[in-house]
Structure 1
Amino acid sequence: MVHNRYGHLQHHNFTYHEEDDPEIEIQRTITLWKMLPKFVAVGLFNPIPVARHALGIIDEETRQIVPKNEWNKMIWSSRFWLMGHSLIISSCSIFNTWLPVVYTIFARFYGAPLGRSLDLIQHIGMEVNVRDHRLCTRDVYLNPLTRFLYWNMNYHIEHHMFPAVPFHALPKLHEKIKNQLPQTYPGWLAAYREIIPTVLKQQKNPEYCFTPKLPEETA
């Protein structure tokens, strides 16, 4: 989708900048209970913005993100998206089976707990409004299968510093520059052992952020 592509570009340009990053999902005042729905993709499947774009309704947020010369492409891609989903839903009635929806539209929810738990590791609780990606982004080591499913996005500092590097080359890039990066978390649990206490501290002090230690020669 055109809107998502430009929104993600904005995320790369203003990573974890509270006023400019459209992909900040976890504000510093969020509670752990409000975090839980994020793990099952509740609220992520929202066709209303797509429907608005399909009707040619461009809100102010979209105007700030998507260039005007891309609006027509965004409108038509939204229409095709709605048309595709409508055909999938209609096929359930035609063939008298839920399988088309089960294998397509509902599929995003099956892998959501794993995918979302990894997505939340990327930035939550770290420094905000800074230009150094090492201070607002995490790297975490994962097993080969999870890395494959996640397209090596666990090397997320590298992805933000060098977004043109293809996903399959991120492990090699990590090996080349890891001595200039904060220590990589040894796994999923290690990252959350830091994230959860950080979120709890932010309930009492919204200004608190975790600041990773940088190598001395590059700090």
Structure 2
Amino acid sequence: MTPAPKLLTAQELAVLNQRSDAKGWQQFFGHLALLAVSGGLWLSGWGGWAVRLPALVTYGFGLAAMFAAVHECVHRTAFASNRANDTVAWIAGLLSFYNSSFYRRYHKWHHRFTQIPGKDPELADPKPQTWPQYLLELSGLPWWLGKIRTHFKVATGQFADYPYIPAEAQSEVQRSLLWQLAVYGALIALSLGLKQPLFVTAWLLPLAVGQPILRAILLAEHSGCSEDDNPLTNTRTTLTWAPLRWLMWNMPFHAEHHFCASIPFHALPSAHEKLSSYWGHLDRGYLAVNKALISTFGQA
């Protein structure tokens, strides 16, 4: 991997790298509050479908966007405390159907080999090249099937397909996932005991509704970027609405994050002010990025 060019002074980087428990908890509890309000409106039925439908979309995307919390916490930058990072990462993974222990190792390789064919694990899932592939991607179905397949293999100790999980970490990853699956099992049992489809209405259905929005966002991060180790051109920053940046824990500043992954989420806007002029891919709006992706369909 080519070392990142020095675009920040040591002093600037030291300021940007300051982690904060207070800012981490403020972000996490704010995210949970959004889930509580939107989920309450969805499940209560108050206001009829004029209220319930937008509440469902908000709640579902809020659940899916807990992936952003997993992402920040596995870098152990969201909080000053590593225990807080690991705890929140696991809880956020429970809500978003990711496993933080697995994702930490997977994502480490993604950063180590960003956009390097044959090495970056994210490139194992090809970007859509046609309308059917694009719509299938947005549906979230490949993601669901991939998660179910991976969770099954990890739960049963099958790590041959995951070279980024070292042998010494396999038992930890397996144990973490088994606990996660046990929680899902307990919630399913509770739903059956109450004779209410709460596992479906409070989690499974909303998360499925939120996935298309998250898929469109994640497609923007590297699609159409250079497939090499140049940090100035292999990742995209997308300028978007402040509420979306907040719910995604500032992940839209993705080029800044990949350029220096030690910068906490709350400092990424400041990093953007210093670095944005260097990026090869700086776009305004996820609709525009997805439209540009669609425009390449059928091209060689």
Deviations 1:139-162 (A, max 9, x none): 111011111111111111011111
CA distance in 1: counterparts of 2:270 and 2:297, whole angstroms: 32
Q: Which residue of 2 aligns with 1:110?
A: 209
The within-5 A match list for 1:22-171 is 22-24=121-123, 27=126, 30-45=129-144, 46-59=147-160, 61-62=161-162, 64-128=163-227, 130-171=228-269
Contact 1:10–1:21 under 8 Å retained in 2: yes
Residue 65 of structure 1, CA deviation? 0.7
- With 101-110 and 70-79 compared, the bigger mean Cα shift is at 101-110
Q: Distance in 2 between matches of 1:80 and 1:17?
A: 33
| d(CA) in 1 for partners of 2:281, 2:158 | 46
Amino acid at match of 1:196: I
Supply the distance in 2 between the matched residues of 1:168 and 1:190 (Cα, whole angstroms). Answer: 25
Contact persistence 1:28–1:125 (CA under 8 A): no
C-alpha change, 1:166 and 1:148, in structure 2 (3 Å) is same
Q: Which residue of 2 aligns with 1:211?
A: none
Aligned-residue identity in percent: 25
Shift of 1:73: 0.2
Contact conserved, 1:51 with 1:78, CA < 8 A, in 2? no
Query: Aligned pair in 2 of structure 1 residues 28, 77: CA closer, same or farther (>3 Å)?
Result: closer
State how far apart, in whole Å, the 1-side matches of 2:149 and 2:290 are: 33
Check the 8 A contact 1:10/1:65 in 2, yes or no: yes
> 1 CA distance for matches of 2:291 and 2:133?
18
CA-based RMSD of the aligned residues comes to: 1.9
TM-score (norm 1): 0.83
Q: How many Å apart are 1:25 and its aligned residue?
A: 5.9
Q: Aligned partners of 2:180, 2:133: CA distance in 1, in Å?
A: 29
Q: 2:280 matched to 1:179?
A: no
For 1:177, the aligned partner's letter is L
2:117 aligned with 1:18: yes
Tell me how far 1:21 sits from its aligned partner: 1.2
Q: Aligned partners of 2:246 and 2:125: how far apart in 1?
A: 26
Partners of 2:128 and 2:240 in 1: how far apart?
29
Distance 1:158 1:27 in 2: 24
Secondary structure of 1:179's counterpart equals: helix
Q: With the length of structure 2 as denominator, give the TM-score of the two structures.
A: 0.62
Helix, strand or coil at the partner of 1:18: coil
Provide the C-alpha distance between the structure 1 equivalents of 2:111 and 2:298, rounded to a whole number of angstroms. 27
Aligned residues: 199
